[in-house]
Every structure is written in C-alpha cells, then in structure tokens.
Amino acid sequence: MLTSDQARDRAQDIVARAMRAGADAADAVFAADASSDVSVRLGELEDVGRSESEDLGLRVFVGQRSASVSTSDLSSAAMDALVERAVAMAREAPEDRWSGLAPEARLMRGTPPALDLEDKSEVSPAELREIAAAAEDAARAVPGVTNSEGGGASASRSVIALATSHGFSGGYGTTGFSTSASVIAGEGGGMQRDYAFHSTRHRNRLDSPETIGREAGERAVARLDPGKVESGAMPVVFAPRVGMSLLGHLTGAISGQSIARRTSFLLDALGTKVFADGIRICDDPHRPHGLRSRPFDGEGLPVSPVALVEDGVLETWLLETASARQLGLEPTGHAARGVSGAPGVSTSNLYMENGHIPVETLIGDIARGVYVIELIGQGVNGVTGDYSRGAAGFLIEDGAITRPVAEFTVAGNLREMFRQLTPANDLEFRYGTNAPTLRIDGMTVAGG
C-alpha cells in the first residue's frame, strides 16, 4: 500500500493535470484500503476474505460549473482520459453560485496534529481465525446459548489524501481491528439473538475475544421469554449502544444542507435552548486513536474540538463550504468527502458528556418504564422531528430492570425528547458516536 506521502502525490498529480487541461480549480481525493477478515461458525472456518482497493476522485470547476468523476484505474493514460472527461462534463453542467473550493485563507497550514491512528503490527489470517474462534467459543459457552451466527475478526489499513489547486495537500493513514460474536439462545419460536463487537485503531486496545463472546452470549440469554408491555406514557431509558442514535438525529438536523434547504426540525434553533441545563455535546476530531479522528476535513480545513451543545444551548451548525456560502456563514471544518461527488458534512468523535448520576439512580424512581436495548426501523422524520421506532428491551418496575419485553414501539417528537433527556454518568468511548445511558420521560410506548 502507498504511504500517505505517496497518496498525497497521486492526488496532487491529477489536480495538476486538471489545471493544465483547462479547469479553473480542482480538488482530488485518493483513498486506498486493504483489509482481511475471518469468520467462524460452530467451531468451523466459514469464510476468509481479503480486499484491496485504490480509488481516485476528481472534482473540477469551470467558472461556477463543476463535475466529479472517479476511477480505480490509476495508469497515466487513464488519468489523462479522466481529466478530459471531467473538464468536458463541467463545461456542460449547470451553474451553481454556491459551489467552489474552500476559502484559501482558511486552509490548514503547517504540520498536522499527531493523532496516533496507525498500528504498525501485522495480523495474519491464522491469528484472526484464532480470535474469531475464541469469541464464538466464549459466547457458546454461556448457559442457554443454543446456536451461533458466528464469530468474526478483521484487520484493515487505509490511507487517505486530499489535494486542491489553491494550495492544500495532505494525507494520513489509519488502521482498524475488530472482533465480534453473534449467537442465539433458546429453542423454536422462543429463540432470541444478540451480539457484541468492539473496534479499535490499535490492536492492544481491543477487548479480549473472550470478553466480547461472553457479552454476546449473556445478552442473548437475557432476552429469552420476552413479555409484552402495556401502552401508555412512561419513562424510556436508552442503553448506550442505542442511545447514541439520538445524537445522529441531532447532527442530521443541524447539517448545513438541511438548514439551507429548510428541511430541519431545528431550523430556527441556533442559539436557543434545545436540551436541558447542563447537557454538553462535543465533537473531537483530535481524540488520540479515535475511530473517527482526522487531522483535516474533506476540504482541507483545519479541525478542532468543538461543543455543538453547551449547557443545553445549540451553538453551531455543521457547515461545508457550499452550504456556508448559501447561509452567509463560514465553514466549520465538518466537510466530509468520498471519492465521488461533492463534499457533505460529518462529525468526527461525537459524544454527549456524562451526567452526574449513576444508572441505578437514573432509574431508581421509575415505577414503570422500559429499558431499550434494540431499535428497529427508521421511523424518524427529519423535517418535523416526529419519532417512532420499534424496540425491544426490559421492563423497569419499581426502580429495577426486571423481565425482557419485545414488540413495542417508542414514540415522541425529538424536540421534546431532547428537552426531557437526562444522561447518566456511564459514558464509555467505544464507537464513533458515544453517549451514556439516557432517560427520557413522557414518551409514548405502544405495546404489541
């Protein structure tokens, strides 16, 4: 695989070709990835996979017209043909007064921050098989587990580079390691499935396969013999692995494109109270070895930690250059770019800060409610904020999590849900987006 410097040189080369071919401006993204994965089921090797890819994306501007093309053929002749096609397409494209490269004065300069995103160690397919087998064995050893969907392990290495015609070039590499297990408990119509997984940038930070497998098995067994829950308004408590999805609804609502198109339920909320007092939601692209850490954004702008919500108040939109221009604002360093198309927006390591109370206290005064561990379906309206999703989890009775329940729906409106939200103090950084256990009072629960 190319080094980050070599990847940067590839991106710079095609930008230079585009400028020689008549483009007024251009930017390019180079992305390479190599990954290996192994899956094991019922103690037997099920699949071994290896993938490698190198892709280059080019965006060119002719006046206020633009076009994007991409290729995996990186020969010199293919590059020339790609450039010619891109410039010809741009000349025929409609004008867009908001499009263009990021402001030159805002580009990242100097040495990028050291984020420790690469692990130099190598993992062989045989080692991956051992890890996957150990995870599955631990899951199947849990009493009550009757079948397995398998254990898995993977290792990957990637390099990403960006170059623009107005002065930016940069690249960086990342590695990733993951382990997973998914098993079934029970028999016949009473079977229940659950899973566990963990992903890290560095292998030595990965949970042991035995820990991951045991967690998967215990989760599946705990869900056996689910009952029904009666319909009504009651507190809903979201486990961390599902509660983080609420942050995704927030970022979708405050993306520049949603605001510019006026299709967000938070359209007029900037600078106002959206969450309760004390709630703080942060985005930290500089988190060492973070799963979504990055030294610069998809347009070459510097990135830095920022509070999206401070003491409950919405502090910023998420803006790439095009939507920032449309709104008369400055880009915020949240541009995200693939090898095709124009930049969108994305957060990096997004999280809600801890609350001040333990989970036991958070649920201690709930006479009757539900603890949600799984959400099903996509019943969220980003324009109105209406929220309705299928769910499974456990009943909360007299301040304690008791028996499993399934086939119910939790519903509300995100604006009201955000205002009623209370976080516990059990935040862990395990995913790209993280949240502690969350309680929301007054949601509508519809039983099956």
**pLDDT tens per residue, range 271-307:** 999 999 999 999 999 999 999 999 999 999 999 999 9
Mean pLDDT of the chain: 96
Q: What is the mean pLDDT of residues 13-30?
A: 97
**pLDDT tens per residue, range 316-337:** 999 999 999 999 999 999 999 9
**pLDDT tens per residue, range 202-233:** 999 999 999 999 999 999 999 999 999 999 99
Residue 217 structure tokens? 């098995």
> What is the residue type of 316?
T
**pLDDT tens per residue, range 126-154:** 999 999 999 999 999 999 999 999 999 99
What is the rounded CA–CA span in Å between residue 375 and residue 380? 12
Q: What is the CA radius of gyration of the chain?
A: 24
Residue 55 structure tokens? 């892709």
> What is the residue type of 121?
S
Confidence (pLDDT) at 142 = 98
Question: Rounded to 5 degrees, what angle do the CA atoms 25, 28, 33 make?
Answer: 180
User: Which candidate, 298, 292, 309, 381, places its Cα nearest to that of 345?
Assistant: 298
Residues of the chain above pLDDT 90, percent: 96
**pLDDT tens per residue, range 54-103:** 999 999 999 999 999 999 999 999 999 999 999 999 999 999 999 999 99
How are strands ordered across the β-sheet holding 433-434? 313-314, 306-310, 281-283, 350-352, 433-434
Residue 74 structure tokens? 């990186």
For residue 210, the surrounding DSSP H or E stretch is helix 209-222
Other CB atoms within a 10 A radius of the CB of residue 67 amount to 19
Q: Is the dihedral of CA 92, 98, 101, 104 positive or negative?
A: positive
Confidence (pLDDT) at 445 = 97
Confidence (pLDDT) at 320 = 97
What is the rounded CA–CA span in Å between residue 74 and residue 224? 53
Q: What is the mean pLDDT of residues 421-426?
A: 98
Q: Which residues pair with 148 in a beta bridge?
A: 183
pLDDT band per the 50, 70, 90 thresholds, residue 378: confident
The answer to whether the beta carbons of residues 230 and 205 sit under 8 Å apart is no
**pLDDT tens per residue, range 106-119:** 999 988 899 999 99
